[in-house]
Amino acid sequence: MSSKLAATPSFAVTIRAAGERTEDECFKIVKEQAAQQASVSIVRKKPFKEALEECFSLGVASQKKWLITVDADMILLPGAIELLIREAENMPENYLQL
């Protein structure tokens, strides 16, 4: 599947993992969809609050316009990241998250 992300703004992706058996597959799919447009990090922290804080810290440190967080038990449909970025770009400026 060819990606149309080259024309989109920069983004980073974090995957929150807590031992899910789907972690490797999730990472593989996210990397394929993000192509060269984004860094993909895995956060393995507990409790959830600490994992979330780490995701946000990585997002801020990346200096990217968008941060996409994915739980490791999610297997994304084809084109999901492209769709998220497109929808985020179309949100009103005062919206914080999608």
User: What token pair was written down for 49?
Assistant: 């609050």
Q: For residues 18 and 38, give the distance between their C-alpha atoms in angstroms, rounded to a whole number.
A: 22
| Mean pLDDT score across all residues of the chain | 89
Task: Provide CB contacts within 8 A for 80, sequence distance 6+.
Answer: 33
Task: Provide CB contacts within 8 A for 44, sequence distance 6+.
Answer: 17, 18, 51
Global confidence as pTM: 0.84
Kind and range of the H or E run holding 69: strand 66-71
Beta bridge partners of 67: 12
Whether pLDDT at 1 is above 50: no
User: pLDDT for 39-59, tens place per residue?
Assistant: 899 999 999 999 999 999 999
User: What token pair was written down for 69?
Assistant: 């967080």
Beta strand 40-43 pairing with 11-16: parallel
